[in-house]
Amino acid sequence: MLEQMKLRAKELLKSGEVDCVLAWRKGDFPCYPEPGFFTEIEDLENLVYDKFCSANLSKYMIDAGKTHSRTLIFLKPCDSYSFNQLIKEHLISREKSLVVGVGCEGNAAVYEGAETGLLEACRICTKTEHVVFDELIGADTMPRETSDNALRFLEVAELENNSPKERYNFWRGQLSRCIRCNACRNVCPACNCKKCVFDNRNYDTEQKANASSFEEQMFHIIRAYHVAGRCTDCGQCVRVCPANIDLHLLNRKFIKDINEFYGEYQAGADAESPGPLTAYNLEKD
């Protein structure tokens, strides 16, 4: 599949149909490939695609659309939901994108250079088919079983069964490890404000380190509220967190509540339908 991807990228660059390729490139270590922009055919030799290519490329299309006329982007099935959501929010242009969907068997979780099974998001993945694409490469040769929502929300349900004090202590233990590196915010496709409230110099929130336990909670709870109804559950926030905070539990709690209050909804399933939190009609609903 990798050779097919390289061949197609070379064809499209050479023909001028695209002037940029957004894919995964070799990183410092084989198990840490990184998102990369390719504008020269020769550079495509550094393009890689394997079980360690876990980065969601969708968010990088925001910058690509500002500097390139048309970009070829390779998307895994789960990534295509984030891509759709960004189209819905008018942050990327479908016309300036050529989407090639690639097959995926799940991405390997790597800690200290050792493979430890699948990433959490992949283990309970419910998104095994591309929701947006122009072409497909290998998507029919890497079938995966779809997880059910019971498994997806299992840990959330277990937390909900705890007392308020137990839940509070759990989150204090989790969030006390936060070093405010902003990795979760920077990698999240749903965190795409030009100016983040936590970078506002008019407030103390700009500082990176938490000055109090209140700030620990405020950053993550406000971020979770900001992506509510827009989070596709891609799991990138958990993947990059150096403190291994269970951030997916916060996001999935919001997704679970939205499903119960407004009906089943999957962010990014299409690029047209309004989100539940923005389509709510006070008189009708």
Note the pLDDT tens digit of each residue in 31-64. Answer: 889 999 999 999 999 999 999 999 999 999 999 9
Domain encompassing residue 207:
149-262
89 and 22, same structural domain?
A: yes
pLDDT, tens digit, for every residue of 246-268? 998 999 999 999 999 988 999 99
C-alpha to C-alpha distances, 53 to 25, 26, 49, 65, 239, nearest whole angstrom? 9, 10, 6, 22, 12
122 and 34, same structural domain?
A: yes
- Provide the pLDDT for residue 112: 47
Of 114, 137, 160, the domain-final residue: 137
Of 137, 165, 190, the domain-final residue: 137
158 and 133, same structural domain?
A: no
237 domain residue, yes or no = yes
C-alpha to C-alpha distances, 64 to 83, 174, 196, nearest whole angstrom? 13, 35, 20
272 domain residue, yes or no = no
pLDDT, tens digit, for every residue of 139-173? 776 666 666 777 889 999 999 999 999 999 999 89
Tell me how many domains the chain contains: 2
> What does the pLDDT average to over 66-82?
96
- Provide the pLDDT for residue 115: 46
> What does the pLDDT average to over 174-191?
91
133 and 11, same structural domain?
A: yes
Has residue 205 got a pLDDT over 60?
A: yes
40 and 12, same structural domain?
A: yes
Has residue 206 got a pLDDT over 80?
A: no
124 and 17, same structural domain?
A: yes
Using CA atoms, how far apart are residues 218 and 175, in angstroms rounded to an integer? Answer: 10
- Ranked by mean pLDDT, which of 6-10, 104-108, 116-120 comes out on top? 6-10
- Provide the pLDDT for residue 143: 60
pTM of the predicted model as reported, rounded to 2 decimal places: 0.90
Helices 164-175, 213-227: inter-axial angle, 10-degree rounding: 100
181 and 75, same structural domain?
A: no
217 and 98, same structural domain?
A: no
Using CA atoms, how far apart are residues 92 and 86, in angstroms rounded to an integer? Answer: 6
> What does the pLDDT average to over 201-230?
77
Of 111, 137, 163, the domain-final residue: 137
Using CA atoms, how far apart are residues 94 and 274, in angstroms rounded to an integer? Answer: 18
- Provide the pLDDT for residue 255: 94
**How confident is the prediction for the chain on average, in pLDDT?**
88
242 and 166, same structural domain?
A: yes
